[in-house]
């Protein structure tokens, strides 16, 4: 039974978000909830409207909303009759859930799976009293919010659950929805919320006890520990302050009295007061942080934990934060209140986790994965324990009179919770034995390829790895994967050397972003010393490198995830094919700093528009199609949107699961090898001066309405000049278009307004808005 249609009952934040993510996978989904009040639209239809307006966007393409069929639960239950998987996502009311299951049982087709999105209620309570046939097809699938962006899916099954049905759901969640699936034991809060709830509550209480400010607490319990940069208070705002008492109350009602959570479960008056006044976090009027809107504009404010009033944020000035640069131990050992805070929160959380590991999961690797995916920790709790060192930690705990969990003692005896063995990893099991770490079939990452291997080639900006079957993978290693002469040099070397020993190339890395574009620092340096020949040389080098890559005698596949901007986007446009992660954000953004794309980006996007059979024929439509996204520095909000914008072609592919991206890209590259031939040179038919004049009418209209500055007009006019073919109408070769790009880039780079914009971008990490 393949899953081809899904039903979701409950159109609240979670249910609607789950439905949106299913539609992002291009799977039809039915969303049911109550009828609307006073004859208004039903709640499911209202939820779809909210999803279309949500930020960050719930849909990868607005078109996906059409795949959701809204309905009224009491009147249109039959819409679920042909669903292969029905997900219940109503409030945490056991009686309500049981009533819904009784209704589902009357229309569910044979073999259809049913699951609950409960965050705390055990499976045994959910299935109590239900028919055995229903229990056989029932499980828990706990999504995290927002479902599009949070990859964790906690799954709880029982010995009664159909193995075949369970495997279908697991496969669908992994391959189709892109989830990191974690199998949990049937315990309250499962894994992530059990540990995460303890961690956040402990962080809140200790900050109040030690007199820290919100900024200090978030700075300590953030990047220095490998936790999200939001810190704990920012994360609570994101989750919703009103959910904290609910999660804690639900957990404490189910956990035995000896569980350590009970000792810290009291809700402080500060938090209760915020919730009562409607300060529930980002979804409300604010929380520990808020945006204050006044006549002077919008500015961020932070809550004073002692006085309860909002004030302007202040930069934390703790000596322990400086000490943290020397490592995590240095932070925990520092005597100031930041060090004390770090020690109390982290050690208590790690001890709690180590004490209940075998209770909540089959192995520690599962727990670490759950915290990485569900709470965005860089390291899981057992990985953190290894980074601190078991012996150091035991000595520290003994000095503070804290009981040592048996798992930690065993780790100290054998040398850690994890160890490398050959080209793989092993983890310590509950019996004190090392077991081989296993992955789901088809998951293969660049980190896997690197285990026990050495790069085929390496320089300061890039590395080349052998990923098997005659395929090489080029990895960027520069800051933010910005493109520089070292990376260009590695590309040139690869084009020359690869055919001697390999048959295909994949360009991919595991950074948060594929590439933010060319290194603007090099451009600014050359501009400041008026080294215009160097600027032109760098542009020519990029053009020559990308052209060599495009016409190489072997297939090249780009495998991006995250941002692929400017020169990074141009690189992908020169690949034979692209295997993009669904969360790929592509765009030619050079106009934002007063330039035009000049490493072939104008040429390649124009070529895509010219070849697109969906577009009107003639020389002008492709020019207009390429001009708008480049002039606006438009960036796609997903790979699906990149396809709609012409950056991805029909034969380019999208991977939903980032852990499958490299394997998918490799398979695509190998599929291109038989009978591979480089693309033929393309000759453009361009409108010349008349086309440029038409574009300039629109440009000048924007200027008259004060929607564009004089330099915006200058940049857009140069872009129009390039895309329309310069001064000549008719045929235009790729080489001629590259010469136009290069000329326009160097001319604009000489202008002081461009220099100012580049300086602003480097200082602030965002373009200057006029």
User: Picking from 10-19, 658-667, 757-766, which range would have the lowest pLDDT averaged per residue?
Assistant: 757-766
Cα separation, 610 vs 547, whole angstroms: 19
Q: Token pair of 224, please?
A: 């220095």
User: Picking from 287-296, 532-541, 564-573, 729-738, which range would have the lowest pLDDT averaged per residue?
Assistant: 287-296
User: Picking from 264-268, 378-382, 524-528, which range would have the lowest pLDDT averaged per residue?
Assistant: 524-528
- For 6, 426, 446, 447, 598, the CA distances from 453, given in Å and listed in that order, are 43, 17, 11, 10, 36
DSSP codes, 44-66? HHHHHHHHHH-SS-S-SSGGGGG
- For 157, 194, 357, the CA distances from 187, given in Å and listed in that order, are 11, 9, 11
pLDDT > 70: what percent of the chain? 99
SS3 content of the chain, % helix, strand, coil (to 5): 50, 15, 35
Mean pLDDT of 706-720: 94
Question: Would the pLDDT of 686 be above 70?
Answer: yes
Question: Would the pLDDT of 92 be above 80?
Answer: yes
The predicted pLDDT at position 301 comes to 93
The predicted pLDDT at position 682 comes to 94
| Residue in 244, 253, 234 with CA at minimum distance from that of residue 201 | 244
Question: pLDDT band at 613, cuts 50/70/90?
Answer: confident
Q: Token pair of 618, please?
A: 């003639």
Question: Would the pLDDT of 543 be above 90?
Answer: yes
Q: What is the pLDDT of residues 443-465, one digit of tens each?
A: 999 999 998 899 999 999 999 99
The predicted pLDDT at position 147 comes to 96
The predicted pLDDT at position 544 comes to 97
The predicted pLDDT at position 590 comes to 96
User: Picking from 104-108, 420-424, 502-506, which range would have the lowest pLDDT averaged per residue?
Assistant: 420-424
**Rg of the chain on CA atoms, in Å:** 28
Q: What is the pLDDT of residues 115-159, one digit of tens each?
A: 999 988 899 999 999 999 999 999 999 999 899 999 999 999 999
DSSP codes, 668-729? HHHHH-TT--PPPP-EEEE-THHHHHHHHHHHHHHHHTTSS-HHHHHHHHHHHHHHTTTT--
Q: What is the mean pLDDT of the chain?
A: 94
The predicted pLDDT at position 518 comes to 93
| Residue in 69, 51, 50, 71 with CA at minimum distance from that of residue 61 | 51
Mean pLDDT of 173-188: 96
| Residue in 388, 390, 380, 384 with CA at minimum distance from that of residue 360 | 380
Cα separation, 611 vs 603, whole angstroms: 12
The predicted pLDDT at position 571 comes to 98
The predicted pLDDT at position 586 comes to 98
| Residue in 656, 579, 652 with CA at minimum distance from that of residue 175 | 656
Cα separation, 613 vs 713, whole angstroms: 31
Q: Containing H/E element for 585?
A: strand 584-587
Strand ranges inside 19-169, DSSP E: 29-33, 68-72, 85-88, 113-116, 138-143, 152-156
Cis preceding linkage at 171, omega within 30: no
CB 48 within 8 A of CB 70: yes
Question: pLDDT band at 438, cuts 50/70/90?
Answer: confident
Q: What is the pLDDT of residues 23-71, one digit of tens each?
A: 999 999 999 999 878 767 799 999 999 999 998 999 999 999 999 999 9
What is the DSSP-derived secondary structure letter of residue 286?
Answer: B
The predicted pLDDT at position 511 comes to 93
- Helix (H, G, I), strand (E, B), or coil: what is residue 474? strand
The predicted pLDDT at position 1 comes to 65
Cis preceding linkage at 146, omega within 30: yes
The predicted pLDDT at position 609 comes to 95
The predicted pLDDT at position 119 comes to 86
Question: pLDDT band at 223, cuts 50/70/90?
Answer: very high
Q: Containing H/E element for 507?
A: strand 504-507
The predicted pLDDT at position 423 comes to 66
Cα separation, 605 vs 597, whole angstroms: 10
Q: Which residue has the higher pLDDT, 163 or 707?
A: 163
| Residue in 483, 442, 739 with CA at minimum distance from that of residue 603 | 739
| Residue in 191, 206, 197, 201 with CA at minimum distance from that of residue 247 | 197
The predicted pLDDT at position 770 comes to 59
Q: What SS3 string covers 417-472?
A: CEEEECCEEEEECCCCCEEECCCCCCCCCHHHHHCCCCCCEECCCEEEEECCCCEE
Cα separation, 26 vs 653, whole angstroms: 14
CB 588 within 8 A of CB 631: no
Q: Token pair of 453, please?
A: 């291997």
Burial 408-444 (b: 16+ CB within 10 A, else e): bebbbeeebbbeeeeeebbbbbeeeebeeeeeeeebb
Q: Which residue has the higher pLDDT, 440 or 373?
A: 373
Q: What angle in degrees, to the nearest 10, is found between the helix axes of 532-550 and 734-749?
A: 150
Mean pLDDT of 635-662: 97
The predicted pLDDT at position 769 comes to 67
Question: Would the pLDDT of 564 be above 90?
Answer: yes
């Amino acid at each position: 039974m393949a899953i081809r249609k899904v039903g979701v009952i409950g159109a609240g934040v979670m249910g609607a978000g789950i439905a949106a993510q299913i539609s992002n996978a291009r799977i039809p989904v039915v969303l049911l909830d109550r009828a609307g009040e006073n004859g208004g639209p039903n709640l499911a239809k209202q939820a779809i409207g909210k999803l279309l307006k949500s930020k960050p966007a719930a849909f990868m393409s607005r078109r996906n909303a059409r795949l959701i069929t809204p309905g009224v639960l009491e009147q249109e239950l039959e819409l679920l009759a042909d669903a292969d998987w029905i997900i219940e996502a109503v409030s945490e009311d056991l009686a309500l859930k049981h009533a819904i299951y009784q209704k589902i049982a009357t229309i569910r087709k044979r073999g259809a799976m049913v699951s609950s999105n409960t965050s705390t209620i055990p499976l045994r309570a959910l299935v109590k009293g239900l028919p055995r046939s229903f229990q056989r097809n029932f499980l828990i699938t706990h999504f995290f919010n927002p479902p599009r962006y949070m990859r964790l899916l906690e799954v709880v099954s029982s010995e009664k659950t159909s193995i075949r049905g369970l495997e279908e759901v697991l496969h669908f969640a992994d391959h189709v929805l892109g989830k990191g699936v974690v199998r949990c034991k049937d315990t309250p809060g499962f894994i992530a919320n059990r540990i995460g709830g303890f961690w956040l509550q402990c962080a809140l209480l200790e900050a109040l006890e030690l007199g820290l400010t919100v900024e200090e607490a978030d700075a300590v319990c953030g990047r220095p520990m490998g936790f999200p940069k939001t810190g704990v208070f920012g994360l609570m705002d994101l989750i919703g302050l009103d959910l904290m008492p609910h999660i804690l109350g639900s957990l404490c009602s189910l956990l035995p009295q000896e569980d350590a959570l009970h000792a810290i479960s009291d809700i402080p008056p500060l938090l209760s007061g915020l919730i009562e006044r409607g300060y529930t976090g980002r979804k409300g009027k604010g929380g520990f942080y808020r945006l204050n809107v006044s006549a002077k504009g919008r500015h961020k404010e932070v809550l004073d934990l002692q006085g309860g009033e909002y004030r302007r944020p202040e930069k934390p000035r703790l000596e322990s934060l400086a000490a943290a640069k020397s490592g995590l131990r240095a932070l925990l050992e520092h005597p100031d209140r930041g060090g004390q805070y770090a020690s109390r929160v982290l050690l208590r959380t790690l001890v709690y986790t180590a004490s209940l590991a075998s209770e909540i999961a089959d192995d520690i690797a599962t727990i670490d994965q759950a915290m990485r995916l569900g709470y965005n920790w860089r390291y899981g709790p057992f990985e953190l324990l290894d980074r601190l060192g078991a012996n150091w930690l035991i000595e520290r705990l003994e000095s503070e009179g804290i009981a040592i969990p048996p798992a930690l003692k065993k780790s100290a005896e054998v040398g850690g919770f994890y160890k490398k063995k050959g080209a793989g990893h092993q983890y310590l099991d509950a019996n004190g034995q090392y077991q081989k770490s296993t992955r789901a079939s088809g998951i293969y990452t660049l980190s896997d390829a690197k285990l026990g291997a050495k790069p085929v080639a390496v320089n300061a900006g890039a590395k080349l790895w052998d990923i098997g079957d005659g395929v090489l993978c080029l990895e960027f290693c520069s800051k933010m994967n910005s493109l520089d002469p070292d990376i260009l040099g590695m590309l040139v070397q690869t084009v020359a050397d690869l055919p001697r020993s390999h048959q295909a190339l994949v360009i991919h890395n595991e950074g948060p972003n594929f590439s933010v574009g060319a290194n603007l620092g090099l451009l600014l340096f050359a501009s400041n010393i008026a080294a215009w020949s160097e600027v032109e040389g760098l542009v020519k080098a990029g053009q020559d490198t990308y052209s060599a890559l495009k016409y190489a005698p072997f297939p090249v596949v780009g495998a991006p995830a995250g941002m692929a901007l400017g020169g990074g986007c141009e690189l992908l446009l020169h690949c034979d094919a692209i295997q993009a992660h669904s969360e790929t954000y592509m765009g030619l953004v050079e106009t934002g700093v007063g330039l035009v794309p000049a490493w072939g980006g104008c040429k390649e996007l124009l070529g895509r528009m010219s070849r697109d059979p969906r577009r009107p024929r003639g020389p002008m439509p492709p020019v207009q199609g390429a001009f708008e996204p480049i002039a606006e520095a438009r960036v796609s909000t997903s790979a699906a949107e990149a396809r709609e914008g012409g950056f991805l072609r029909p034969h380019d592919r999208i991977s939903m699961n980032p852990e499958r991206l490299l394997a998918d890209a490799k398979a695509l590259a190998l599929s291109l090898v038989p009978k591979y031939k480089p693309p033929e040179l393309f000759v453009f038919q361009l409108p010349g001066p008349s086309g440029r004049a038409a574009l300039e009418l629109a440009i000048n209209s924007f200027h008259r309405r004060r929607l564009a500055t004089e330099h915006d007009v200058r940049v857009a006019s140069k872009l129009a000049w390039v895309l329309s073919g310069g001064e000549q109408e008719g045929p235009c070769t790729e080489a001629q278009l590259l010469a136009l790009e290069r000329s326009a880039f160097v001319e604009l780079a000489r202008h002081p307004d461009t220099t100012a914009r580049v300086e602003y971008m480097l200082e602030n990490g965002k373009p200057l808005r006029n």
